[in-house]
Structure 1
């Protein structure tokens, strides 16, 4: 099995890159984000790879990081999600964005990926919600847990109100949730909504 390619870029296509490793060209199919991050022809490249072996073919999928490859694998544990859909999702959302979408049960964010309909997006956020915290690298378990409570509608009222207020001020929902989760994690979990809004704005001003 091929787990990583280290060589130079030979050619970049619409959905793949050819990596020259000691005069052997390996075709690796990549998502949009990975393709956009690639260097130019003849430049050095390191590509993390997932190898698929079928009776009639061997196909390589390439990723710019090991975390992106891990998400590709994890997504395929969801019913109805194959390599094509997993590649579309990882090609559209960063690891952090995907972790946030799952924590907040944000089906619409996942459905931004080409070819991912509402039903598949709903299954992804539902089936992965208990698998992500340690896996995602998206912050502490406490922060992730609080964001998941927000997504499921069971977070304390002051926290919910603070997130809604920040959203009304023009911040994206995941930004607002991150900020309030950070404020709560730093010891303000039992604070009232006004305090959480003030602390959340302070977090957002640093970002």
Structure 2
């Protein structure tokens, strides 16, 4: 398995790139999230990679971060989601956005991605639940500080769902203590 490529970026033609690694040119397909962060041609580039071997081809996919590659690997395990659709999903959403959509079970965010219909979006949400580190305290961008993570965990212990807990702490004042945060969240939940 080829896990990482480091070399000189020779060509960029979305979604393909060509990387020269010690005289060997590797053609790599990348999501647009990675493509936009690539250096200029002629500069050094490092990509985390995933190799798919089929009867008729060896396909190499590259990612700017290890978390993008890990998400790609989770996506291609899902029935009906191939490598091209996984690249499309990663091109349309960041890892944090997808993680948050899974936690909040928001099909609407997924169907905006080209090639993802309502049934596929529902299957993605069902099969990715709990597999992306999308449980409480782990949703990148949604948790502002340690106190909020502790409040989310306390609400989970009280039996509230991830979605309810995130919505209840959404407007929690920054810098609140854990006890104040729990009081704030319980008040918000009682109004809902």
Q: Please give the range of the TM-score, normalised by the shorter of the 2 chains.
A: 0.7 to 0.9
Aligned-partner Cα distance in 2 for 1:80–1:91: 18
Aligned-partner Cα distance in 1 for 2:103–2:16: 31
**Deviation of the 1:181 alpha carbon:** 11
Aligned-partner Cα distance in 2 for 1:99–1:184: 25
Q: Tell me, which stretches of 5 or more residues in structure 1 are unaligned?
A: 164-176, 197-207
User: Which TM-score applies when normalising by structure 1?
Assistant: 0.72
1:51–1:58: 8 Å Cα contact kept in structure 2? yes
Q: Larger % of helix: which?
A: 1
CA deviation string 1:109-153 (max 9, x = no partner): 12222211111111111211122227966355974886x9264xx
1:107–1:121: 8 Å Cα contact kept in structure 2? yes
Question: What does residue range 54-93 of structure 1 map to in structure 2 within 5 Å?
Answer: 54-93=54-93
| Structure 1 partner of 2:146 | none
| Structure 2 partner of 1:101 | 101
RMSD over aligned Cα atoms? 3.2
Aligned-partner Cα distance in 1 for 2:112–2:25: 33
**Deviation of the 1:28 alpha carbon:** 0.4
CA deviation string 1:37-95 (max 9, x = no partner): 11111001001100011111101001001110000001122221111111111122111
Aligned-partner Cα distance in 2 for 1:102–1:28: 28
Aligned-partner Cα distance in 2 for 1:181–1:78: 38
Cα separation, partners in 2 of 1:84 and 1:48, compared to 1, 3 Å: same
User: Which TM-score applies when normalising by structure 2?
Assistant: 0.77
1:10–1:19: 8 Å Cα contact kept in structure 2? yes
1:32–1:91: 8 Å Cα contact kept in structure 2? yes
Cα separation, partners in 2 of 1:106 and 1:24, compared to 1, 3 Å: same
Aligned-partner Cα distance in 1 for 2:88–2:71: 11
Cα separation, partners in 2 of 1:57 and 1:65, compared to 1, 3 Å: same
| Structure 1 partner of 2:10 | 10
